[in-house]
Structure 1
Amino acid sequence: MFYTGLCSVTFRELSPQAIVEATVKAQIDAIEWGGDVHVPPGDAVLAAEVRRMTESAGLRVSSYGSYYRAGCFHGAEADFEAVLVSARSLGAPIIRVWAGDKGAAETDETRFRAIVEDVQLMAARAEALGIDIAFEYHGNTLTDTPESALRLLGEVNRANVRCYWQSDNMRNVMDEIEAIGRLTPYLAHVHVFHYNGGHQKPLAEGREEWNRYIRAFEGQSRDFYLLLEFVRGGSVDQLVRDAATLKALVNGAASSDAVLDF
């Protein structure tokens, strides 16, 4: 089943309470709380307070969007134990992580193995707390193509390690749908946005593509979230409009004239 949500990084300048209020206004289901601003790693007290305000508003915590980069053992972002502390206190069922800091073609075998081993250790620690790990599906990491993502997932080979998906406007729609089909067994959540010509656009302008993407996810057996990530102009009003488009798509109303954006 599909649920809808918002990535808090969409509004880094807003307080957690303001983000909760925006999410309620948009009438969507959940928030992925980011670890860079709103719920920093290791601050269990703040994470618990953010969880309280989220749940008190009738919302769910879909996930914890960390900036931990597997296999990169330097700096504060390398402290996975701190990430776990916040995720647990936040009540997040999934921690989003990054698969290294270079694309698959630039990552040698030694580095690849170090990333795999790090993820396996992370997965074991998270599993003990009932938490899943999921890779950001992103350029300049080991999930920059479906092939590299599947290789990494296969080598890690842990039941609680999965992968996000997001569109890449450098690929055509049919290639994206093929990628969805291949990644579906590992799917955690989806980041939803629409770019055209390198510019953020209203989701309504990507209605046709996103209708096809969402239908491609229908074979997924797990519940997952379609998380709005970034909106044109960083506007809460735009979030409300994009959320209306997303809900119409999820409800099979992609061709409805009621979903417009001016």
Structure 2
Amino acid sequence: MKKLANKIAVITGGNSGIGLATAKLFAEEGAKVAITGRDPLTLNNAVNNIGKDATGLIADVEHIDSIEAAYQQITTQFSQKIDVLVVNAAAYITGPLANYTEAMFDQTSDINFKGAFFSVQLALPYLNDGASIILTGSTGAEKGNGKGAAYYATKAAIRSLARSFSAELLDHGIRVNVLSPGPTETPAFERTGASPEQVSKIKETLIAHTPAKRLAQPEEIAQAFLYLASDDSKYMIGAELLIDGGYRTL
């Protein structure tokens, strides 16, 4: 029996990296998958990659109206409410404290914190009772990270949201958990604007500080999302699942 058979799963920011790997795995496990993203080209490529009647919708979590419109379209298209919501859309905008601008801060906060908050709030009318909501955190939220103060602060906020959301949604059997990945091989490194040489050095530094001595592959993180999405984790409520090769704790 497939773990997500006949379920509707929505993944925000599902057009690349961990989100795409998770969408593919969910589809393999029987879910009808909808992903959202901001770029039409990468979104279309991702849908083709997922296959299995996946659908992709343009939605930008910085613009709240587009979030609700996506939920409306998804539930109308599938004639069914949402069973799994993965709030994965995020912006990784880093820089030295002395040079970090208000615009950089606002974008980081609007996407990672405000966007996550309203991605859950606006989903409520479209969620089945007993649904699983998974927020993407970061192992870095519990560590000091130079040049990443704003980003990691938003991820710490995500951890707090899961606790409060879970307490409020218990009467509907909706559980909210956080999955916090460690260093993972994704296109996010290149999107920072760093040169190939700088990206290579960043990865080498992360690997050196990770006890597993390698970066995770997106498919490994996807397996953890599947656990939180399925009934295998039905006793997990307001919790955090850490999958980081020992980066935080060792």
Band of TM-score, shorter chain: 0.3 to 0.5
TM-score (norm 1): 0.34
TM-score (norm 2): 0.35
